[in-house]
Structure formats: C-alpha cells, structure tokens
Amino acid sequence: DPYSGDPSRHPVLKINSQKPFNAEPPPEMLTENFITPNVLFFKRNHLPVPNINPDKYELVVERPPGAKWAKPLKLSLKDLKTKFPRHEVTVTLQCAGNRRSEMNAIKPVKGLDWGAAAISTAHWGGVWLRDVLSDAGYSEDLPNVRHVQFEGLDQDITGTKYGASISFKRAMSKDCEVLLAYEMNGEELPKDHGFPLRVIVPGVVGARNVKWLGRIIVSEEESSSHWQQNDYKGFSPSVDWDTVDFSTSPAIQDLPVQSAITEPRPGATITPDHDGKVTIKGYAWSGGGREIVRVDVSLDGGKTWKVADLTGEETKGPTWAWKLWKLEATIPDEQKELTIICKAVDSSYNVQPDTVAPIWNLRGVLNNAWHHISVTVDK
Ligand code: MTE
Ligand code: MO
C-alpha cells in the first residue's frame, strides 16, 4: 500500500477521500481562530505523502539557461536555514475546488465534493524564493525566462511527480513575497503540509503551492504537469467533457473574491438569546493581495442587508490573509425559517456573483457565488 506511510490525522476532519488523503475541518471550527491550528488546516493530497529524511534532503535548483555553472545548486535544509534570512508571512490557502459541492448540486461535476472549508490560514516561516533564485544566478532582467516550475517529491506508481508553476516575474518580485516554507505556525512543517519544504505563493490558488518541494526549474514554458496543463482551469458552463480543450484556458493563479458562512450550519435549528439575537460567523478572502473591505449579510434571502464586523491582521502592503466576520442579528418575531446569505467586497471593489449556475464549470472550480444557508428558528 503506497499510502501506508501517511501520517495520522485529527479525527474531527471531514474526509473527502482517504487515499490520497483529502479532508476539511468542521466549518464552525475554522472560524474559531484567525490562524488555523495545523491539525485542523485542510489537507489536499493528490498522491501518497512521501517519506523524506530531513538529514538527507536536498533542494535542487537548476541553473539559468546557458549559465557557466554546470551543476545545479543543491541546498540542504541546514543551508536553507542558515544561508538565507528567515521571513514570515501570514497567508490563506484555498483549494480551487472549495465549495464544489454547491456546484455539484446544480449539475454533476468531476472532483472531490468539498464543502466550504477547503481554505485555511497559517503563519509560514522560511526563506524568500527570490533569495534562493538569486543565489542560483538568476536576476529579474534575465531574458527568455517566463516561468518557475516546482516539482514535488510525491509520485504515482509510474514515477510521475506532482508539479506546478508560477510566473518568473511573481517569483522574483519583492511585493509578491513567495516563500519556501519550512515552518507552519511556529512548528516544523507537518508531513501532510509538505515536510520538510513547500512553496507558499500568497494570493494564488492552492495547487501552485507545491509541497515536498524537490526541484525548481526556471524556463520559457509553464510546468508540463497534468495539474498545470489539464486541470485547475476555468471554462464556460457550456463546455462539457466531449468539447473541452484545456489548451484554450489559462491556468488559474490569483483567485477571485470569496466568502462563506461557517456558523450556523446549513439546516441547523438556531435558538436566539434572551434579546432575540443570534450570532452568524464566516470568513472572507480575495486573491492577488486584495484585502476584504466589506461583508454584507442578509437574513431575508437578499431583500435587506447588514454589514458584518471584520477581524483580521493589519498589513502595510498587500493582504494575503482572510478576514473573519461576525454579525449579531435580531431575528424578527414570527420568523420560523431563515435564508442567510453572505457576500464580500475586496479592495478592487470586486464582488461575488449571486448564483452558481452562470459560473458552473465541468471541473467544479472557482465557486465564489453568494453563500446561502437555510436554518430553522426555535423560539
Ligand atoms: N503539492 C504536492 N507536491 N502534491 C499535491 O498533491 N496539492 C496542491 C498543493 N500542493 C499538492 C501540492 C493543492 S491542489 C492544494 S489545494 C494545496 O497543496 C493544499 O495544501 P495543504 O494540504 O497544505 O492544505
Ligand atoms: Mo487544490
């Protein structure tokens, strides 16, 4: 069993697939803390977790095309920790398939049936990718290089490894803060999250945040991996599996504005307190460093709206982490059934689409429609 070396996991996680392991935390636990505890952080593996001896581990960085150095740069974990300054960045990771189950409910899609908790936030510690690339001889103005490919050490039975790429410009940009992380929330990176080293690409879809990083290649072309070329792309609702041509859509990088209700749960019975109030909670996040500036919540299916309270971290530059939001709402007397909706606005004034159907796509990615839940009020 190639999965026999997989680590043990917290029993509270909702498992969407055991082998490979894919699981999300209960939504209400997700918004108990701004930082998601490592054991609760959603886990998305395409392959068995590789067993890596940290003492023998080496990151391989291929040299610039035509460089005078013949051999690739090889860095041990100790080299990474001692030769480069350590940096920390707070980043929310979201899988492109987050909230796929709502898309699946409209018309079946191919993919794991994620609820609204394939998203989590951590403090990541490590070294800037740009520092490592500079050490390998790269500079921002190098011609003919456009992409940085990351190869994981996880592989299938044929030896095919997980891989993805981002633009060279993003990789070298000070503002983009792309990190090679060896720490997650002050602990060494857990096995499920890429031990001993992973890429953290702030503001970018989970799939490019390659875990168990083995090799970095700078190139003219994007990664040739299945996950860069033939997956993690968006399409029109009219495209089906007979007509889809993956070469016609760009690989997802920055993600769109997103929000969801985490408490109460859909279908729950809620009891207002003695003032007739209930607490509604959720998260909101946007890709590309855009900050969440507002979350609107409706208790009447979208007829009227209230502005939720936001909590988050102050940042000077771009914002890579989510905001948690909360609303103490008075339930009108007589009201027995409630439809609660949330929608967020980011710093570019991007808003979420109101329904799922117009953004439905065959792979069930990029669902960022208004999040609706229905609950019963017990008075
Ligand atoms: N990296 C490797 N090597 N193998 C993988 O299967 N999954 C990707 C990405 N990096 C993956 C990977 C996907 S699709 C997501 S959403 C994130 O890792 C999930 O990161 P997490 O498990 O730390 O939450
Ligand atoms: Mo993902």
Determine the pLDDT at residue 332: 79
Interval 302-328 mean pLDDT: 96
Atom of ligand 1 nearest to the CA of 97: 16
In sequence order, the 6+-apart residues with CB closer than 8 A to the CB of 257 are 284, 285, 286, 287, 290, 292, 344, 345, 346, 350, 351, 352, 368
Nearest bound ligand to CA 162?
Answer: 1
pLDDT digits (tens, 9 = 90+) for 194-233: 999 999 999 999 999 999 999 999 999 999 999 999 999 9
Question: Is any atom of ligand 1 closer than 6 Å to the C-beta of 75?
Answer: no
Question: Is any atom of ligand 1 closer than 6 Å to the C-beta of 100?
Answer: no
Interval 178-198 mean pLDDT: 98
Q: What is the whole-number distance in angstroms between the Cα of residue 91 and the centre of ligand 1? A: 14
Which residue has the least CA distance to atom 20 on ligand 1?
Answer: 44
User: Is it the case that residue 293 has pLDDT exceeding 80?
Assistant: yes
pLDDT band at residue 176 under the 50/70/90 scheme: very high
ipTM of the complex: 1.00
Asked whether the beta carbons of 320 and 287 are under 8 A apart, the reply is: no
Radius of gyration of the chain (CA): 21
Question: Is any atom of ligand 1 closer than 6 Å to the C-beta of 210?
Answer: yes
pLDDT digits (tens, 9 = 90+) for 119-160: 999 999 999 999 999 999 999 999 989 999 999 999 999 999
User: Is it the case that residue 70 has pLDDT exceeding 90?
Assistant: no
| DSSP states of 200-219 | E-TTB-GGGS-SSEEEEEEE
pLDDT digits (tens, 9 = 90+) for 49-61: 999 999 999 999 9
Q: What is the whole-number distance in angstroms between the Cα of residue 9 and the centre of ligand 2? A: 19
Interval 89-97 mean pLDDT: 98
User: Is it the case that residue 69 has pLDDT exceeding 80?
Assistant: no
Q: CA of 330: how far to CAs of 266, 274, 276, 344, in Å?
A: 19, 11, 6, 21
